[in-house]
Amino acid sequence: DTGVSQDPRHKITKRGQNVTFRCDPISEHNRLYWYRQTLGQGPEFLTYFQNEAQLEKSRLLSDRFSAERPKGSFSTLEIQRTEQGDSAMYLCASSLANYGYTFGSGTRLTVV
């Protein structure tokens, strides 16, 4: 296992389009997290899954954002009707309970 994988690495989209990002966690990890990081800031929590259940969502996750983790494996994060303010790095992380937190390299989204 090579760690947490995120795809794509970069995404440029026009305002109003929908985008979807994928995260493949470390296979034995039961927890999966999404964070958003804007320039000059630390990552901010978006949402958290334990297995396939989405247990917590941040206020940052507006109704244009949806995340899924079918079968408790990979996860997708979809942003509908993208806005310029959605431009950021989207980071995925996984862990086994409270240990082994590992981050992916992120997906950089640019909305033009």
Partner 1 sequence: AQTVTQSQPEMSVQEAETVTLSCTYDTSESNYYLFWYKQPPSRQMILVIRQEAYKQQNATENRFSVNFQKAAKSFSLKISDSQLGDTAMYFCAFMWTGNQFYFGTGTSLTVIP
Applying CB under 8 A, the residues found at the interface with partner 1 are 31, 33, 35, 40-45, 48, 55-56, 58, 89, 91, 93, 95, 97-98, 101-106
Closest CB to partner 1 among residues 81, 101: 101
Closest CB to partner 1 among residues 84, 98: 98
Closest CB to partner 1 among residues 4, 79: 4
Q: Please state the closest distance from residue 7 (CB atom) to partner 1, in A.
A: 14
Q: For 91, what's the count of Cα atoms within 13 Å in the CB-facing half-sphere?
A: 16
Question: Could you tell me the sign of the dihedral formed by the alpha carbons of 57, 48, 56, 42, in that order?
Answer: negative
